Amino acid sequence: MGDVQPKSAQTVTEARVLPKTPYKDQDPREIAALVHALDEAVKLKKRSQFSAKKSRFSVKDSPQGIHVDSWKFNDWDYKRRDLPTYARGLFTSKNKYGEHEIAVRGYDKFFNTNEVRETEWGNIEERTRGPYELTLKENGCIIFISALADDTLVVCSKHSTGAREDVELSHSSAGEKRIESQLAKIGKTKEDLARDLRARNATAVAELCDDEFEEHILAYGPDKAGLYLHGINLNLPEFRTYPSELVQDFARHWGFHETELKVIDTIAEVRQFLESVAETGAHDGRDVEGFVIRCQMSPKPDSIPYSDWFFKYKFEEPYLMYRQWRECTKALISGKPARYKKHIAITEQYLLYARKRIAADPKLARDYNKNHGIIQLRNEFLEFKNLNGSDAANFELQHGRGGDAEVTKDVILVPIATIGCGKTTIAAALGKLLGYGHIQNDNITGTKRPPRFTRMLLDELETHPAVIADRNNAQRHERKQLLQDVKQLHLSAKLVALNFVHDDISAIRKVAHERVFARGDNHQTIHAKSESGKVIGIMEGFLGRYEPLDLSRAPDEGFDSVVDLDPTDGSRVNVEKIVRHLHQVYPGLVKEIPSAEAMDAATEAAIGSYTPAIRHSVVDRGKATQKSSHLVLQPKAVKKKPLEYIAVHVNAKSITAQLQRTFDKLSPEKSRFYMQLQQTRRIQPAFHVTLMHRMAAKEHPELWARYLKLQTDAEAAAADEAEKVSGPVDPTPELGQVDVQLERVVYDGRLMALVVRLVDKDNSDNTSEKWTCVNKISHITVGTRDSNVKPKESNDLLARWLREGSTDANGIYDVVIDGKPLLAGSVQGVLSR
């Protein structure tokens, strides 16, 4: 369908020659397909899919009782390529024929320069064409104005419309009030405006800026307050928007404030202009947040037509500093600690000033909490210091003191990542380079892992200046847990986010797959070699659940500092980024940046300890053992740790099945303790017979030497095997096999153990000679009453049972396992943790 003139566009009748007004009707079939796709996205909630949230609103003025549905996507989903529309702010409704139509259409989501591939400067320069229309990034809340099929004017904020119960005045209601008074001033009604918008099949997009209603960062006193019109979009799935000249014209006609506009012809000039304004952060004597640049873009200018396209350019300072001041002031007022990471010296001075002013004037605090007087307090301070905004923001540069020099320890590095980003590699490299600790969530098994993880991190800080919290922390709730728990237990600890930015998911997926499949089974939980299908599923799960860092709100605002990392970069690059960042923010922690060679070596060693190439270091166990445990990588590196004990592992399901069968037949009295263990989840998740612990090496030196040799040989064999197939090294090689015969279960009110006999496979009636158990009675600990009762106390219980038997007086029970079944056992060395 070609462009036609709108049915009653009132602005085109004016004398000046204006650009042709864009127009296109909605195609009911196309909109029906769109709504269908959106509904599916709401229902499916598939990880691999984008997800949409739908909310229904009634429109109070609509005589026909028309309602609108708002559709909301996750911010990060806009970076996908398969959305049915990229509108940020989208409402649909139905017309009188019951056909779906787009009621309200926001802009296509647009990004900051360098935030996505398309907005990298090189691409902007190649793929866009002018004229470039620059508008100030206005700084209030966005308001959409459009018309329903019955010519009702509908006024919305980004995702809702109408009154809300939880606030005095919702954004959309505030916008609507503004519209009413603005139209009254020019003698027009909402119906007039509705008819015009309906005829255009368009949504008017404006910024509500009003310090009376809600003060943002930039000042809008009474004379400047109002609705600043900045766009008119056609109500279509694809993005089509009016040229700014027509927008300005519409604004004048309907009593909107005009958004300041600067038109520049070439991209080179645009860039030059933006970069010059960025130096001061102010434009025309006013502090600004940034610019929105409207132009046209084609992904392939030779073959694909240009379409409307926006990007933004945000200024860092002094805007960010002002925002920080505002947040700190609010913290101050509510008696919470003010947190700030940048502009430390000047912010301290500002807060000192603010503290005094607030103490002297309680009304100031009350007003401030309602977002009033923020700018005034700030300006008073700047005046008092005789500084302007950009001087204040540059204060550090001029006066030194870039970071928080007092921090010398207690720093926790928290990755925000998915599988295969290189967390463990980087942690190992930092360990080698800077002596940092390393706690791997993957090494923690059993219940209540999160609090144990936190506890282990804090313990690690006792002996290391910093520690890496090696866990994906891909979801906000995980970050919340960690931040909260840490701050509760250790107030002065600093949490630094290692932010593996996920903007190009397919590139990340590719790199992560390559790495994880090269790693094979050499991981605690991700066994890419033997369970490849499952592993892909797990990896996709993490990618799907990944929630990007959002410093503007809880929980992520709790981070003390952030390093952005690209997961597709090699770990060497990321190690250096982290080190440089830490040196800058905590110069007392990283006093100087290690040499490039040292960083090379540390990263190479970290990567290499997974690969067969440098595997000799495994056999050469002496050197690598014992040293600080954080230096080494899991799980291969575990082998560099000393042998803790030799055990026969038995399949857990077979054991629990035998126990269940036994206790099912017993009286309630006799089975009570078993029930208790079950209900309190105190039955071991895995079962083994300990043959010998290294503590017994003095008593049985020859046996220990024999077991040690078996272990070393098995490791060497596993390494050779891996080299042969260029695959990963089996981290727990089997030393041999032996059958385990279950004889009886012995227990009191504290713990339960199975008395077993080890039987050689080929010599089935005799107790094994090869696999000697040094305990008086070989056994499997089934479970203990609570964590205060240690499994090794089984030896004491069984010794008592052997002496006294089972009597009413000693409270020991002893039940024979029916049929004395034989279970297959695998002998393995267990290394110290």
Active-site residue list: 137
Closest CA to 175 of 217, 207, 216: 207
Nearer to ligand GTP, 297 or 599 (CB): 599
Q: Does 424 bind Mg ion (CB under 5 A)?
A: yes
Backbone phi and psi for residue 538, each to the nearest 5 degrees, phi listed first: -65, -45
Stretch that binds Mg ion, among 277-285, 421-429, 586-594, 605-613 (CB under 5 A): 421-429
What binding mask, one character per residue, do residues 8-47 give for ligand GTP by CB under 6 A, x or -?
Answer: ----------------------------------------
Q: Are the C-beta atoms of residues 419 and 472 closer than 8 Å to each other?
A: yes
Closest CA to 439 of 419, 411, 420, 458: 458
- How far are the Cα atoms of 144, 434, 548, 621 from residue 26, in angstroms, in the given order? 18, 62, 35, 73
Shortest reach from residue 440's CB to ligand GTP, in Å: 8
Six token digits for residue 374: 């923020």
Nearer to ligand GTP, 130 or 727 (CB): 727
Check whether the bond before 131 is cis (ω within 30° of 0).
Answer: yes
- Ranges of beta strands (E only) in 390-505 are 411-416, 437-440, 466-470, 494-500
Q: Does 571 bind Mg ion (CB under 5 A)?
A: no
Taking CB within 5 to 8 Å according to partner kind, which of Mg ion, ligand GTP, none is near residue 519?
A: ligand GTP
Taking CB within 5 to 8 Å according to partner kind, which of ligand GTP, Mg ion, none is near residue 347?
A: none
Q: Are the C-beta atoms of residues 670 and 808 closer than 8 Å to each other?
A: no
Nearer to ligand GTP, 138 or 576 (CB): 576
What binding mask, one character per residue, do residues 421-460 give for ligand GTP by CB under 6 A, x or -?
Answer: xxxxx----------------x------------------
Q: Are the C-beta atoms of residues 130 and 265 closer than 8 Å to each other?
A: yes
Q: Are the C-beta atoms of residues 351 and 329 closer than 8 Å to each other?
A: yes
Taking CB within 5 to 8 Å according to partner kind, which of ligand GTP, Mg ion, none is near residue 255?
A: none
Angle at 831 (CA atoms; ends 827, 833), nearest 5 degrees: 140
Dihedral of alpha carbons 529, 532, 537, 540, sign = positive
What binding mask, one character per residue, do residues 223-242 give for ligand GTP by CB under 6 A, x or -?
Answer: --------------------
Taking CB within 5 to 8 Å according to partner kind, which of ligand GTP, Mg ion, none is near residue 21?
A: none
Check whether the bond before 451 is cis (ω within 30° of 0).
Answer: no
Six token digits for residue 19: 């650009």
Instruction: List alpha helices for 223-318, DSSP H.
Output: 244-254, 267-280
Q: Does 574 bind Mg ion (CB under 5 A)?
A: no
Q: Are the C-beta atoms of residues 140 and 216 closer than 8 Å to each other?
A: yes
Which one of 79, 357, 515, 527 is in contact with ligand GTP (CB under 6 A)? 515
Shortest reach from residue 573's CB to ligand GTP, in Å: 8
Shortest reach from residue 519's CB to ligand GTP, in Å: 3
- Kindly report the number of other CB atoms within 10 A of residue 13's CB atom: 7
Buried b vs exposed e over 376-387: b needs ≥16 C-beta within 10 Å? ebbeebbeeeeb
Instruction: List alpha helices for 665-751, DSSP H.
Output: 668-679, 701-724
Q: Does 615 bind ligand GTP (CB under 6 A)?
A: no
Nearer to ligand GTP, 94 or 630 (CB): 630
Number of residues that bind ligand GTP (CB under 6 A): 21
Shortest reach from residue 423's CB to Mg ion, in Å: 5
Taking CB within 5 to 8 Å according to partner kind, which of Mg ion, ligand GTP, none is near residue 829?
A: none
Taking CB within 5 to 8 Å according to partner kind, which of Mg ion, ligand GTP, none is near residue 157?
A: none
Cβ-proximal residues to 544 (8 Å cutoff; 6+ apart), any chain: 46, 47, 48
Angle at 717 (CA atoms; ends 713, 721), nearest 5 degrees: 175
Q: Are the C-beta atoms of residues 12 and 249 closer than 8 Å to each other?
A: no
Taking CB within 5 to 8 Å according to partner kind, which of Mg ion, ligand GTP, none is near residue 640?
A: none
Shortest reach from residue 577's CB to ligand GTP, in Å: 13
Check whether the bond before 555 is cis (ω within 30° of 0).
Answer: yes
Check whether the bond before 594 is cis (ω within 30° of 0).
Answer: no
Shortest reach from residue 726's CB to ligand GTP, in Å: 13
Taking CB within 5 to 8 Å according to partner kind, which of ligand GTP, Mg ion, none is near residue 425?
A: ligand GTP
Which one of 94, 109, 127, 519 is in contact with ligand GTP (CB under 6 A)? 519
What binding mask, one character per residue, do residues 541-580 give for ligand GTP by CB under 6 A, x or -?
Answer: -----------------------------xxx--------
Which one of 328, 607, 646, 692 is in contact with ligand GTP (CB under 6 A)? 607
Q: Are the C-beta atoms of residues 298 and 305 closer than 8 Å to each other?
A: yes
Q: Does 72 bind ligand GTP (CB under 6 A)?
A: no
Q: Does 472 bind Mg ion (CB under 5 A)?
A: no
> Is residue 774 exposed (0-12), middle (13-18) or buried (19+ Cβ within 10 Å)?
middle
List the interface residues with ligand GTP, window 732-761 (CB under 6 A).
Answer: none
**What is the rounded distance in angstroms from the CA atom of residue 682 to the CA atom of residue 189?**
72
Stretch that binds ligand GTP, among 479-487, 517-525, 788-796, 825-833 (CB under 6 A): 517-525
Q: Does 529 bind ligand GTP (CB under 6 A)?
A: no
**Residue at 560: amino acid letter:** D
What binding mask, one character per residue, do residues 465-504 give for ligand GTP by CB under 6 A, x or -?
Answer: -------x--------------------------------
Q: Which residues of this chain interact with Mg ion, rule CB under 5 A?
A: 424
Q: Which residues of this chain interact with ligand GTP, rule CB under 6 A?
A: 417, 419-425, 442, 472, 515-516, 518-519, 523, 526, 570-572, 607, 610
